[in-house]
Structure 1
């Protein structure tokens, strides 16, 4: 796909103006899934937990950088993304939730609640939905947003996940598509 067409598609998906009609919005069933990022590598890369924040890439490459680093799976409960560590030897607090920070004119880190890390007061853990397999967040107005960004870290192939609520498109960030895949 040509870069400008890909950018147009991402722009559309990042900020839809209204919820699609009919049954196009899917409720996840009660099975676990992974969140992955497409568009920055030759294949998708997994979203993982590190010290309360969300990263993408191979968690084993990041282990020396964080105190608690683990792959995670998700379970959709109502409109929240409940998070479980994998393998089961890794521990996360019960009811650990995935969050975004939808603050105007800021690009802010995405993370996880609990686990000995303070959750920011502007963190939002609900109103997540899936359009097919695409992760979206629904504002109170009904607007769907999916403005995730990845910032390359000092370890090759590892990115920190951010949410760009105002579609600022800051330089230095990659623009992924965040999707679910079955485990």
Structure 2
């Protein structure tokens, strides 16, 4: 199922870039706090990535990258989660997600469930490989695939639904 959407590629000279970034970073601050009310909610639901996916897919690489970098840093500074020790792995996955989502949007020029699956799998696989190199632990690197499948499914389904909803606006 495919939906044509109006996609943007904002540049760094536009105020909209920073306003949308602030909006998506705020979402990436609030959603993890709600998910952390559930035991292991952050590990299972992977909430820190959700609005990065939307930002990059809908508004392009610049908004996506700003959101990808600022969200984990702000969450860590304000709430201590993610812990500073795992910030490199989280940042790599977050930036990879922004790049994958922006590239998919740019080349496909629409949103589909298949595109969402490809974007989520791309950032998870690439990010997990980097995490394996950084930590030296295959089990640690595969944590999102062991615990975070519900979060990945949520990113795919809710990401598609939100992008489809935004297309009507």
Query: TM-score scaled by structure 2?
Result: 0.34
Q: Which has the higher strand share?
A: 1
